[in-house]
Every structure is written in structure tokens, then in C-alpha cells.
Amino acid sequence: MEFVVEPWHWFVLGILLILSELIIPAFAALWFGIAAIMVCILLWLFPMMGFPTQVITWGILSILCTLLWFKFIKPLSIDKTKAGLSREATIGQVGMVIQTGLEHEQILVRFSLPVLGSDEWHCRCTTPVKVGDRVRVIDILGNDLVVQPHCNS
């Protein structure tokens, strides 16, 4: 009697691999498990697949799932804010002046990525600027950022 691999075998393997991620925190078994479930679906759609073809397909899908994770999905989970970072991370950030003429000769600057938890800051500028000018943070003075006009070169 010859052992025949059925689609449910691949499904069980996939679930076991995914559940093993709870024990092994490497975040790699998840992709092998997802690939096994994909082989289960392929075997259900194409029952004539031989066992060597199934294993090769599982290996290729495992590699593809892992590569896709690192290339497309993982970068989305990286926090791009500068909240909680030190002075050195703040200095050098570039923003755009959105309002001038505030009290105490301040300007309002909007940054594309939040700086120290906020994307808009009251700033003091070393030279006169107009709305729309790009400025770069050069220092932190109390609750204000000190900025200067930013050159693109």
C-alpha cells in the first residue's frame, strides 16, 4: 500500500507551521506555513501533481512569501516618525513654512514626517522667510525649533 499525499496533509502541515510561530519567534515559519496552505489549494485544484512537484512548489512558494515579506510588507510596518528620538535625530529635518508673522517673531513649519511627535512646529528662524520656503532645523530652543532656510544643493 503506497502512501498518497492528500491536500489536507499540506493544510495540516501549514497550520502546524503557522502555530509553531507562537513558540519559535523567528517569524519565518509563518511563511513556510502559508506556502504549505497554498500547495494544499494547488493540489486540490490539480490532483495530478506528483509529490516531488509538490515539495518543489512548496519550496519556491516559501522563498517567494519570505522575499515578498521583506521587500513589500515589512517596510510598511516601520515607524517613520521621529517621536521620542534625541536632539541629533531632530536637527537636520527639513520642513516647509506654512505661516509667518506669529507672535514673538515665530513661524509655523510643517514637516513631511512628524518631528518629536508633531508634524507642525512653531519655529524661530535665523533669517526672514516667506510662506512656502523650505527650512532646516539647526537647534532646539525650549519648546521651539530653530530653523534656517534650506538650500537644495
What confidence score (pLDDT) does residue 19 get? 92
Q: Are residues 105 and 126 in the same domain?
A: yes
Residues 64 and 101 in one domain: no
List 97's β-bridge partners, or say none. 109
- What integer best gives the mean pLDDT of the chain? 85
pLDDT band for position 153 (50/70/90)?
very low
One domain for residues 68 and 121: no
Q: Is residue 122 part of a domain?
A: yes
pLDDT of 52 > 90? The answer is: yes
Say if residues 123 and 107 touch (Cβ distance below 8 Å): yes
> Model pTM greater than 0.75?
no
Q: What is the mean pLDDT of residues 107-131?
A: 85
Query: Which amino acid, one-letter code, is at 62?
Result: S
Please indicate, yes or no, if residue 80 is contained in any of the structural domains: no
Query: Is the separation of the CB atoms in 39 and 54 below 8 Å?
Result: yes
More confident residue, 121 or 8: 8
| 68 and 101 housed in the same domain | no
| CATH code of residue 102 | 2.40.50.140
Which residues share a beta bridge with 13?
none
- The predicted-structure confidence for 95-108, as pLDDT tens digits, reads as follows 999 988 888 788 99
Beta bridge partners of 145: 123, 140
> 123-141, pLDDT tens digit by residue?
988 888 999 999 998 988 8
Q: Are residues 58 and 102 in the same domain?
A: no
Element (H, E) at 54: helix 51-68
User: Is 69 a domain residue?
Assistant: yes
- Give the domain extent around 114: 86-147
